[in-house]
Amino acid sequence: MLDQEWMKDVRALVGKEYGRVDSWDPVNAPMVRHWCEAMGIENPAYTDREQGALAAPAAMLQVWCMEGMHLNNYPPGSTKENPYEALVMIEAQGYPSVVAVNSELEFDRPVREGERLYYTTRLDSISEQKTTGLGTGFFVTLVMTYYARGAAPDGGDERVGTLLFRVFKFKPTGAPAAAPEAAPAAIPKPKRPRPGISDDNRFFWEGAQQGKLLIQRCTCCQSLRHPPGPVCPNCHSFDWDTVEASGRGTVYSFVVMHYPEVPPFDTPNPIGLIELEEGTRLVAQLIGVAPDAIRIGQEVQVEFHSFDDDLVLPQFRPVAATPDAKEPA
């Protein structure tokens, strides 16, 4: 199939070499040990220093130059170029989807503890337009070449391996013929996870449906307990009833979830361990307060809010709330 006019600009990039991406850390024993542990590899060459200089497992090659938890957070000195610019240009023409189809690693030699790696990227090829079971688009192949700094006999950088990475950038089958500015189809917002409801905790969720914060109480020794359970941990009695808590309490502890970003929750997402004035604690989302304004000991009050038409959750709002705080979803 003949290329459309716009594709000529994309194909002009084939063969382009993109700049260096550095590694945050040299090849090091702790990362090798963690990787071997995670992969279930027991090979003394990777862990036992008495065997001589530690080598890193060959399959770790890509690991050394990864950006870490934050997207595109590469070490200072790394290129600012986007080696995926061809994908961006193809996407702009109405090919929104991408799937990785092939990854091939080749190793020239083992890398060793203390070596500093970097890689460069070359846009290797772009296929003719193809139609597969997924849709219609282009196979785009990139090749990353890895080097160890100063490791060559003449003091220059030495090539240690390559990573070929091929993706299919495509318009899904059945998708409307997209205008260049067309956005990918809207994905319905995921619902909140549902609580696991059992005979032990059903009262709590039924109470929430009625706007009541019900706490389990041992009818034998009168102690309160939460989360609900069948047996009193204090006196081992199976007999219990419930009391309706006032909903007033204080922040005993809290966390603010930043990562991972899990739909439907907005991040940052503040979660409190609330000490109720009745004397037991429960975990709930904090609302109406900026995450950096939450304080241990802060007074809070329960509110009940509905989600996805059928779920009612207790959430806690500081009694003297920050007026312009963002409400988490």
Residue numbers of the site for Zn ion (CB under 5 A)? Answer: 218, 220-221, 232, 234-235, 237
Measured from the CB atom, is 220 or 290 closer to Zn ion?
Answer: 220
Nearer to Zn ion, 103 or 237 (CB): 237
Contacts with 27 (C-beta within 8 Å, 6 or more apart), sequence order: 56, 64, 111, 112, 113, 114, 115, 116, 117
Residue of 37, 171, 182 lying closest to 97 (CA atoms): 171
Question: Could you tell me the CA-to-CA distances from 63 to 21, 106, 111, 116, 201 in Å, in that order?
Answer: 12, 14, 12, 12, 45
Closest distance to Zn ion from the beta carbon of 224 (Å): 10
> What is the smallest separation between the CB atom of 238 and Zn ion, expressed in angstroms?
10
CA atoms within 13 A on the CB side of 60: 26
Nearest to Zn ion of 82, 234 (CB atom)? 234
CB of 233 to Zn ion, least distance (A): 8
Closest approach, Cβ 204 to Zn ion, in A, equals 18
Q: Select 61 or 232, whichever has its Cβ closest to Zn ion.
A: 232
| CB-nearer residue toward Zn ion: 245 or 294 | 245
Q: Residue-wise over 109-148: b if at least 16 C-beta within 10 A, else e?
A: ebbbeebbbbbbbbbeebeebeeeeebbbbbbbbbbbbbb
Smallest distance from Zn ion to CB 218, Å? 3
CB 250 within 8 Å of CB 297: yes
Radius of gyration of the chain (CA): 28
Which residue lies nearer to Zn ion by CB, 197 or 235?
235
Using the minimum distance from each CB to Zn ion, give the nearer residue, 228 or 247.
Answer: 228
Q: To the nearest whole angstrom, how small is the minimum distance from the Cβ of residue 293 to Zn ion?
A: 38
CB-nearer residue toward Zn ion: 234 or 246: 234
We find the least distance from the C-beta atom of residue 280 to Zn ion, in angstroms, to be 13
